[in-house]
Chains A and B, each alone.
Chain A
Amino acid sequence: MAMTPDPARQGDADVIIAIDDLTMAFGSFVLQRDLNFTVRRGDIFIIMGGSGCGKSTLLRHMIGLIEPAQGRILYDGESLWETDPEARVRILRRTGVLYQRGALWTSMTLAENVALPLQEYTRLGRAEIAEIVSLKLALVGLKGFEDYLPSEISGGMQKRAALARAMALDPEILFFDEPSAGLDPISSRLLDDLILELRDSLGATIVVVTHELASIFTIGDNSVFLDAEARTMIASGDPNRLRVEAEHPTVRRFLNRSAADGAEAA
Chain B
Amino acid sequence: MAVPSPAGTLAAFQNREKSLSDHPRHHGPAPGRFAVTQADDGGVTLQISGDWSMQATVPRSAEVTDSIAAAGSVRTVTFSAERLGRWDSALLTVLLAVRGFAEQRGIDVDPSGLPEGVRKLLHLAEAVPERSGARRTAAGRGNLLARVGIGVTRATSGLREALTFVGEGTLSVGRLLTGRARVRRSDLLVIVQQTGAQALPIVSLISVLVGLILAFVGAVQLEMFGAQIFVANLVGIAMTREMGAMMAAIIMAGRTGAAFAAELGTMQVNEEIDALKTLGIAPMDFLVLPRMIALVLMMPLLALYAAFMGIVGGALVGVGMLDILFSQYLNQTFAAVTLNDVAIGVVKAAVFGVLVAAAGCYRGMQCGRSAAEVGKAATSAVVTAIVLIVVMDGLFAVVTHILGV
Contact = CB atoms under 8 A, between A and B. Distances in A.
Contact of A103 (B190, B272, B280): B272
Contact of A65 (B2, B274, B281): B274
Contact of A105 (B182, B190, B275): B275
A160 B51 CA distance: 56
A92 interface: yes
B278 interface: yes
Interface residues of A, number: 24
B271 interface: yes
Contact of B3 (A100, A103, A120, A259): A259
Contacts of B89: none
B275 A97 contact: yes
Contacts of A60: 274
A103 B267 CA distance: 8
Interface residues of B, number: 17
Interface in A183-227: none
Contacts of B276: 105
Contacts of A7: none
B279 A101 contact: no
B168 to A, nearest CB: 12
B170 interface: no
A161 B304 CA distance: 45
B149 to A, nearest CB: 15
A3 B279 CA distance: 33
A95 B274 CA distance: 13
A103 B274 contact: yes
A190 B281 CA distance: 31
A103 B270 contact: yes
A93 interface: yes
Contacts of B270: 101, 103, 106
Interface string B1-20: 01100000000000000000
Interface in A86-112: 89, 92-93, 95, 97, 99-101, 103-107
A63 B272 contact: no
Contacts of B278: 63-65, 92, 95, 97
Contacts of B280: 89, 92-93, 120-121
A116 interface: yes
A121 B182 CA distance: 12
B152 to A, nearest CB: 16
A77 interface: no
B60 interface: no
A100 B271 contact: yes
Nearest to A65: B274
Contacts of A101: 270-271
A253 to B, nearest CB: 14
Contacts of A105: 267, 272, 275-276
A231 to B, nearest CB: 14
A89 B281 CA distance: 9
A99 B275 contact: yes
B141 to A, nearest CB: 19
A207 to B, nearest CB: 13
Q: Which of A60, A120, A121, A260 has the most CB of B within 10 A?
A: A120
Contact of A120 (B267, B272, B275, B279): B279
Contacts of B83: none
Interface of A: 60, 63-65, 89, 92-93, 95, 97, 99-101, 103-107, 116-117, 120-121, 165, 259-260
25 contacts: A60-B274, A63-B278, A64-B278, A65-B274, A89-B280, A92-B279, A93-B280, A95-B278, A97-B274, A97-B275, A99-B275, A101-B270, A103-B271, A103-B274, A104-B272, A104-B275, A105-B275, A106-B267, A106-B272, A107-B190, A116-B279, A116-B281, A120-B280, A259-B3, A260-B2
8 smallest beta-carbon distances between A and B, as pairs: A103-B271, A89-B280, A103-B275, A99-B271, A97-B278, A63-B278, A103-B272, A117-B279
